[in-house]
A and B are shown apart, each in its own frame.
Chain A
Amino acid sequence: MRHKQSISRKLFIVFNTLLLALITVLSVIPFIHLLSISLSSNTAASAGEVRLWPVGFSFDSYVYLGEKVEFFRSLWVSVKRVVLGTIVNLFLVFITAYPLSKSNDRFKFRTPYVWFFAITMFFGGGLIPTYILVKNTGLIDSIWALILPGALNVWNMVLMLNFFRSIPKELDEAATIDGAGHWIILWKIYLPVSLPSIATIGLFTIVGHWNAWFDGILYLNSPDKYPLQTYLSTLIMSMNAQMSSISIEQIKAMENLSEKTLKTAQIFMGALPIMIVYPFLQKYFVKGIIVGSVKE
């Protein structure tokens, strides 16, 4: 019997490995394609000749990008935004999810609070009202306009809430018996135990802040304040499809901006920092946390 099991187990492992490897390859291919385009000559890229390997190898777009002061300026803005934004978000998510994760008999107004937050996941004022509000709270042209409006991400908070609920009640009860108040329980007990969920939500928050580009355009008045993705978006001109004719100026602009290699180099550079950070966060997705502390 054990013999049979290990063969089917082995087969499964082989099949599993192959399948996952295939998916990995498929997922990585578009990036390789983009990278190849960015390293190709512009004429080859414009002609659509590049597949998985550069044609007419050229570092030009990266050199061009690297010389641009704006690139590094906006990179720095992005770093600031991500750090500040993630700290604020995680903090808010953490302290908001805790009370809401308690059961209804331990926290009387829990349900109304939860719906107060949940409703905002479905209803929104839209672009113009939000803009006017941000303006009236004096955040226009400040990095805080990119952080405060979305400071409490309800989706993430609900996720965290759920994670909290899976923490064994025994930990809670043991600490309460020892005389610890909520605040202490939150930071001394929940925090260490929730590392995988914090890492997960932290990752999503970091990615969210890193990728956001539209709010930069809306709330910032001058390009030197732009975060990276907003800056990168300015290099790609999109022609308004409603035009019936291009003006002479626009034609000249098309000439310059249709640089496919440049576009892809930007895209790549925009995604690269995060792709590097991600594996480091994975460390925290580690098994077997402190659960052992609950023995008797």
Chain B
Amino acid sequence: MRTLKKEYLLHLMLIPGVIVTLIYAYGPMAGLVMAFQQFEPLSGFFKSKFVGFDNFRYVFQLPDFGQVLWNTVIISIFKMVLFLVVPLILALLLNEVTKQWFSRIVQSAIFLPFFLSWTVLGGIIIELFSLNGAVNGLISSIGFKPIMFMLDNQWFRGIIIGSDVWKGMGYNMIVMLAVIIGINSTLYEAAEIDGAGRWKQMIHITLPSMAPILILLAVLSLGSILNAGFEQILIMYNPTVYEGADVIDTFVYRLGMFSQQFGSAAAVGLFKSVISLILVSSTYYAAYKYNGYRIF
């Protein structure tokens, strides 16, 4: 009885969020039925032919699907790891900067590439890594042969991963900085008194305090494991590197070349969603079971 009284306010607070989510997030989900239909816009949801799992079969049986899936996973994993490690290092380094103005400039600068779209950035990067570009210029000046980066499967993947991390690292870095700033300064003062240097402080205070946010970011990024960066790859790839860099989304995008493939696209989307859900919920429950820790 008392619980309900105390809790009713909490329920009340959730109502606006629930309503909006119900209408605009769950409402459209009814459209997931498209994945099981041969959807035609003119026929709509009610008159399009129901084809069961045919769409899924069609996509999965396309000759290169396996390779495409592999590319997606590999590229994603690298990106996931780097998207955690690099911003973390940056955040920690920034934390050691004493001059506020310098710190703010660096933060702003690092966040800037976030604003550029891939349509713009893609062209710049291609230019940069082309035979006559700056990078090869550097390489030849120290005596090595120029490399055709964008035409080699391995190098291209590296560029995809690296440039995406460079572009987006500001985001996670800011989140992490916000956490670092929130750490109780008395903890540091106490450690200082005990004779711990900055390094020890970082290892024993900063990092542990950041554990929750790091875990959260890691688990949530697991949910995007099958999104390897559609727009980026679409802009920058070319037939020579399809083998190593064609990912699920670019693959499906091209499927619409001769006719809009609503059903197949929806099927792939549903597939990705299910995988994400499985990954995230299993990590969530594993963390709960073994540590009593709820990630969110």
Contacts and interface: CB of A to CB of B under 8 A. Distances in A.
B20 A183 contact: no
B28 A163 contact: no
Contact of A124 (B179, B182, B197, B269): B269
B158 interface: no
A95 B13 contact: yes
Given A129-B27, A133-B23, 20 more contacts: A12-B96, A19-B93, A20-B106, A24-B109, A24-B110, A102-B10, A123-B270, A123-B273, A125-B31, A126-B266, A133-B28, A134-B24, A151-B24, A165-B212, A166-B179, A267-B116, A271-B115, A271-B116, A282-B104, A287-B181
A285 B108 contact: no
B24 A149 contact: yes
A125 to B, nearest CB: 3
A33 B185 CA distance: 41
B178 A200 contact: yes
Nearest to A24: B109
Interface stretch (A60-68, A74-82, A107-115, A217-225): A107-115
Given A152-B20, A275-B115, A282-B107, A126 B296 contact: no
Contacts of B184: 168, 291
B220 interface: yes
A158 B296 contact: yes
B102 A17 contact: yes
A113 B12 CA distance: 12
Q: Which 4 A-B pairs have the closest CB atoms?
A: A129-B31, A125-B28, A99-B10, A96-B17
Contact of A20 (B30, B94, B117): B94
A30 B113 contact: yes
22 contacts: A20-B94, A21-B106, A30-B116, A96-B13, A96-B16, A99-B14, A100-B296, A107-B10, A111-B294, A123-B273, A125-B29, A126-B266, A129-B45, A132-B28, A148-B20, A152-B17, A152-B20, A158-B296, A166-B212, A182-B13, A271-B115, A285-B177
A148 B24 contact: yes
A148 to B, nearest CB: 7
B108 A282 contact: yes
A279 B104 contact: yes
A231 B158 CA distance: 34
A242 interface: yes
Contacts of B182: 163, 166, 196-197, 289
Contact of B28 (A27, A130, A181): A130
Interface of A: 5, 9, 12-13, 16-17, 19-21, 23-28, 30-31, 33-34, 48, 92, 95-96, 98-100, 102, 104, 107-109, 111, 113-114, 116-126, 128-130, 132-134, 137, 148-152, 154-155, 157-159, 161-163, 165-166, 168, 181-183, 186, 196-197, 199-200, 203-204, 207, 211, 236, 242, 264, 267, 271, 274-275, 278-279, 282, 285-289, 291
Interface in B140-181: 166, 171, 174-175, 177-179, 181
B23 A137 contact: yes
A196 B181 contact: yes
Contacts of B27: 125, 129, 133
A170 B212 CA distance: 19
A96 B26 CA distance: 17
A197 B182 CA distance: 9
Where chain A touches its partner, the secondary structure class is helix
Contacts of B45: 129
Given A24-B110, A126-B269, A108 B7 contact: yes
A199 B266 CA distance: 36
A182 B32 contact: no
B108 A200 contact: no
Where chain B touches its partner, the secondary structure class is helix
A21 B109 CA distance: 10
A104 B296 CA distance: 11
B115 A279 contact: no
Contacts of A162: 212-213, 216, 296
Most buried by B among A34, A120, A123: A123
A109 B8 CA distance: 11
A186 B14 CA distance: 13
B116 A23 contact: no
A199 B178 CA distance: 9
B271 to A, nearest CB: 11
A239 B26 CA distance: 35
Contacts of A133: 23-24, 27-28
Contact of A117 (B17, B104, B112): B17
B1 interface: no
